[in-house]
Amino acid sequence: MTRRKLVAGNWKMNGLVKDRDFPKALSDALGEEPRCDVLLCPPVTLLPLIAADKPDWLLLGGQDCAPQASGAHTGDVSAAMLADVGCMHVIVGHSERRADHGETNQLVKAKAIAALDAGLRPIVCVGETLDERESGEAEAVVVSQFLASLPECAADKIVIAYEPVWAIGTGRTATPEDAQAMHDAIRAAWPGDDAAALRIVYGGSMNPGNAESLLQQSDIDGGLVGGASLKPQDFARIIQSVR
Ligand code: PEP
């Protein structure tokens, strides 16, 4: 089965109203329609502004959602609210949220279920720390995090992002071989019989210089890109690395 690749930009807590024209700058940098799915996850404040003026091929996503559907949860954003402003995806369980907000696998799973209930595709993030990699536990840690964070659903309703914590925002990247091995282990652990449909993207200091060798790997179905997605030229070059 050929899985269409997905290149997603995670702007984290960056972006102001003046950045609403990013889609135009990205289109200009690309020069033609991308050969893969392209998703932008700006801060929630920019979602309606960007949704109002973007090319059809550019998908929008949230960076997080509440596990509840609605109600008295001050400051939280529900999956239905994201869908309401045009999102089709939402990132859940990013390592920055696991670290900064103490998010557990159980909470990440509840958020992924809330996303599915609202018709969104959750992008469930997993990844090991440097200590865990250096002590040879990376695969066991990631597979157990993956299984514990996973909602019950068909493989084509979800995306998994393998993001080694030590590679996020550090300029250090997993080698294509190490990333491929981890993606293969994640796919092998998928509990259903439709693992071939599961998209597993890599994240961690992906940039125009390393994207092609990562994206060529058979089980790397795209990228989750932080810093480099803020610059239209760099993001475009990563998208163009999909052959
Ligand atoms: C991320 O935020 O998911 C990420 C991978 O960041 P960066 O590309 O900056 O390492």
pLDDT (tens digit, 9 = 90+) per residue, 17-55? 999 999 999 999 999 999 999 999 999 999 999 999 999
Mutation test of ligand 1: which of 14, 173, 205, 220 has the most ligand atoms closer than 8 Å to its C-beta? 205
Q: Does the Cβ of 224 fall within 6 Å of ligand 1?
A: yes
Average pLDDT over residues 126-148: 98
Tell whether the model's pLDDT for residue 75 goes beyond 90: yes
Helix 22-30 / helix 232-240 crossing angle, nearest 10 deg: 40
Domains of the chain in sequence order = 6-240 (3.20.20.70)
pLDDT-derived band of residue 6, with 50, 70 and 90 as boundaries? very high
**pLDDT higher than 80, residue 1:** no
Distance 38 CA to ligand 1 centre (A): 16
The per-residue pLDDT for 204 is 98
Nearest CA to ligand 1 atom 4: 226
* Radius of gyration, CA atoms only, the chain: 17
Q: Is the pLDDT of residue 243 over 90?
A: no
For the purposes of burial, counting CB atoms within 10 Å of the CB of 86, is it exposed (0-12), middle (13-18) or buried (19 or more)?
middle
Kindly state if the Cβ of 222 falls inside 6 Å of ligand 1: no
Are 173 and 204 spatial neighbours (Cβ–Cβ below 8 Å)? yes
Token readout for 50 is: 């960007």
Question: Is a pLDDT exceeding 80 seen at residue 176?
Answer: yes
- Is the CB of residue 149 below 6 angstroms from any atom belonging to ligand 1? no
Residue 33's Cβ-side half-sphere holds a number of Cα atoms within 13 Å equal to 7
Residue 119 · residue 86 · CB < 8 Å: no
Question: Going by CA atoms, what residue is nearest to atom 8 of ligand 1?
Answer: 226
Among candidate residues 166, 228, 173, 169, the one with its CA nearest the CA of residue 202: 173
Q: How far is the CA of 224 from the centre of ligand 1 (A)?
A: 7
Residues 6 or more apart in contact with residue 201 via CB below 8 angstroms: 6, 7, 8, 123, 159, 160, 161, 162, 220, 221, 222, 223, 224
183 tagged catalytic:
no
Q: What average pLDDT does the structure give for the chain? A: 98
What does the alpha-carbon distance between residue 210 and residue 98 come to, in Å, rounded to a whole number? 26
Contact 165, 127 (CB under 8 A): yes
- pLDDT above 90 covers a percentage of the chain that reads 99
Q: Does residue 203 sit in helix, strand or coil?
A: strand
Atom of ligand 1 nearest to the CA of 228: 8
Q: Is residue 134 annotated as a catalytic residue, yes or no?
A: no
Q: Which residues contact 34 (CB under 8 A, 6 or more apart)?
A: 7, 57, 239, 240, 242
Write down the pTM of the prediction: 0.98
Kindly name the residue from 94, 96, 103, 128 that is annotated as catalytic: 94
